[in-house]
Every structure is written in C-alpha cells, then in structure tokens.
Structure 1
Amino acid sequence: MSQFFASQPPLIAHLPGERSLAVKVAIAVAGSILLAISAKLQVPFYPVPVTMQTLVVLVLGMTLGSRLAFATLALYLAEGMAGLPVFAGTPEKGIGLAYMMGPTGGYLLGYILAATLTGWLAERGFDRSLPKAAFALVLGNIAIYVPGVLWLGSVIGWDKPVLAYGLIPFLAGDALKLALGACLLPLLRHVVPARKA
C-alpha cells in the first residue's frame, strides 16, 4: 500500500532543464495554447461532433504530473476568464466570466480536477501500462463529467433531461479518446528515454 502513495517522476521529468522555473512556465504556456487549439478543432462523430480537448486535458495531466498540470489548467482558465477566446464556442457564445458561468462552466472546473487527478496517478505509475493508464483516464473523465453535469443541471434546471444534454451524447466519442490516450501514454514512456541520475 505504501508503494501506491510513493511518488514517481512524471514523464516531463525526463526532459532536460524541466526543473527550471522558466522551463515550467514555458511548458504551462505551451499547454494552455494546446488546450485552446484542441477546443477549436471539431471531429465529425455520432451523435455529436467531438473536440480533442478532454484528451488533451487528460494527457497533459498524465505527462506533466499533478502540480504542473494544475498550473497549466489554471493558466488556461485564467486566460478564458480574462476574455481570451480560448474555450469551445468562443467568442460566438460569449467570453470571459459570463461564458464560464454558463452551462459548460462545470466541465471547465472538471478539467482542472481531471488534470490534477491524472497527474497524481501518473506520479504513482499509472502511465506505465495500458490497463493502468486506461483506469487513470477513466477516473479523469469522471472528474470532468461529475461537476459538468451537476453544474449543467443547476443552470438549466433539473426538470430538463440533463444527462441527455450533457453526458450521453459524449460517451462514444470520449470512449474513443480514452482508448487512444491509454495506448499513447505507455508508448510515450518507451519513446522518451529515462534521464540518468
């Protein structure tokens, strides 16, 4: 049991200079840009088009570790709060705090929870095999769904079919993204060489 709580370096720790504050800031900025791009790219899928954003959130968590993933997602949300059109549907559906308080606000909160959780799990070795990576990614996706659906229900009213609006249409696309992420993470571990002490 103590091994489960023993911290291991995330994948980003194998990059040269990753302990430098300047490098960490650059990684967080690059991650926030990647999140903004992934929010804008839609892939045709049934029953609804999907963005790659949840996959990027989860993979960032698993590769950056809990602290840097939290900082990256916090920066991304701060950019959106400041009025930058970094979220899906912005600026068409509004920007800034008004957008964040709308129906999708809970999912945005879920992003930061999911990235931090998957980062914590990666620091405990959950990015090193396909079954463990899949388990971590599923937990991360649940961390997005729960506040997302709860917030959506509070905004539109629980008399509406909240699950039909905010959960069920996304399950198939998210399952595909989770499978992709679960295969990608152990592969990255083999591609990125371990840093020598």
Structure 2
Amino acid sequence: MATERESVELVGDELVGNIARAALFAALMGASGYVSFPNPISPIPVTMQVLVVFLAGIFLGPVWGGGSIALYLAAGGLGAPVFAGGSAGLAPLVGPTAGYLWSYPVAAVVVGLVVHGGISAGDYRVSTPRLVGAMVAGTVVVYAFGTLGFAYVNRVGLESAFWTASAAFIPAEAFKIAAAVGIVRSDAIAAQ
C-alpha cells in the first residue's frame, strides 16, 4: 500500500532569507563595534557601526534593516559583548553613548525609506545623490539622538553636546558615507 505524502511550507523562502540577512547584519553590527578609534575631541570613540547601519538600510530596506539593528540592540542588552569595544548589558543603553545606540535602528529605517522610496524593499541601486542623501538623513538622525542623549546623561547644554557628540564625528561620517557608496557601487557592478 502506497501512502501519499503532502508537504506543507511553514515559512516561505523569502522570509527565511530576510531573517538570515537580518541576523547577518546584526552580527556584522556587533563585530564593527570592535573596530573603534579614540576621538581626540570627544570621549565617545569612532566606530564603524554607522557604516553598518547605512548598509543595513540600503541592502535590507527599512523594515528588515531597522529590525536587524534592533536585534543587535537586544543582543547587546541581554549581555552579548557587541557594543563599542566589546561592552554589553544595560549600562551602554543608558550611558553617554545611549543616544547613538537608540538612533541606529531609526537611522537604518530612514536610510531604507529614502533609498527604496517607501516601506517595501526594492532595488537599492539608485543614483549616487539619492544614496548620499539617504545616508546624510540617517546621519542627522544619529546626531540628533546622540546629541540629546549625551546632553541628558552628562547634564550639559545642547550646544556643548552637539560639538562634543556630533560635530566631532563629521570627518568620520564623510568617510563612512564614501565607503558605503563604494560598497554599493561595487555590488551593483558585480551584479551585472
């Protein structure tokens, strides 16, 4: 007697792919926290994390890009050593760099929205001005959250916080934007 078997797809291939890419970007975000340099005019180190935030928004779109960075925050908050310099736990989420950390998922969403022109992820191979504009918008989000968080935690005025927590990072952000454009353009060339 032959039996007939029926297979049922519980989770679609697209969802599995999106989850895997989000987990990969969360891991990449954690690894990039180990690449940090002291900033001579700020107590906050320069990391490569904002570059990964940009790339998550560009490659994954607003929903999955923001979700991947939120996953990174959850992992770090639960004790994985993924924050700048290998720190972990709740202290970084309420300390001097908390504003930056909380800005990252929002910035990834903003970058994704500008690049993809909406909530749905589409083709990320857009014009260079649009790509740069998306990352500048993401940088504004990071700087706004970072400045407000730094001012609140350190009990300093917004102007002082801006110069210490944002303006001090402009050259590094310009480098990260240029690097992201290069990565996206090299991927677009490889895809052809």
TM over 0.5: yes
Rounded to whole Å, the distance in 2 between the matches of 1:176 and 1:135 is: 15
RMSD: 2.3
Q: Rg larger in 1 or in 2?
A: 2
* Structure 2: runs of 5 or more not aligned: 1-11, 118-122
Q: Kindly report which structure 2 residues correspond to 1:96-111, keeping only aligned pairs within 5 A, or say none.
A: 96-111=89-104
- Structure showing greater relative contact order (alpha-carbon pairs closer than 8 Å, 6 or more residues apart): 1
The runs of 4+ residues in structure 1 deviating greater than 4 Å are: 43-49
Give me the TM-score of the superposition, normalised by structure 2: 0.80
The answer as to whether partners of 1:64 and 1:119 remain within 8 angstroms in 2 is yes
Q: Kindly report which structure 2 residues correspond to 1:14-163, keeping only aligned pairs within 5 A, or say none.
A: 19-42=13-36, 50-91=46-87, 95-124=88-117, 127-159=125-157, 161-163=160-162
What is the deviation of 1:189?
2.8
* Structure 1: runs of 5 or more not aligned: 1-17
3-state SS of 2:95 partner: coil
The answer as to whether partners of 1:39 and 1:87 remain within 8 angstroms in 2 is yes
What is the deviation of 1:121?
1.4
3-state SS of 1:96 partner: coil
What is the deviation of 1:140?
0.8
Give me the TM-score of the superposition, normalised by structure 1: 0.78
Distance 1:60 1:118, change over 3 A: same
What is the deviation of 1:185?
2.2
Matched positions, count:
173
Deviations, residues 94-132 of structure 1 (Å, cap 9, x unaligned): x31222011111101111111011111121277412111
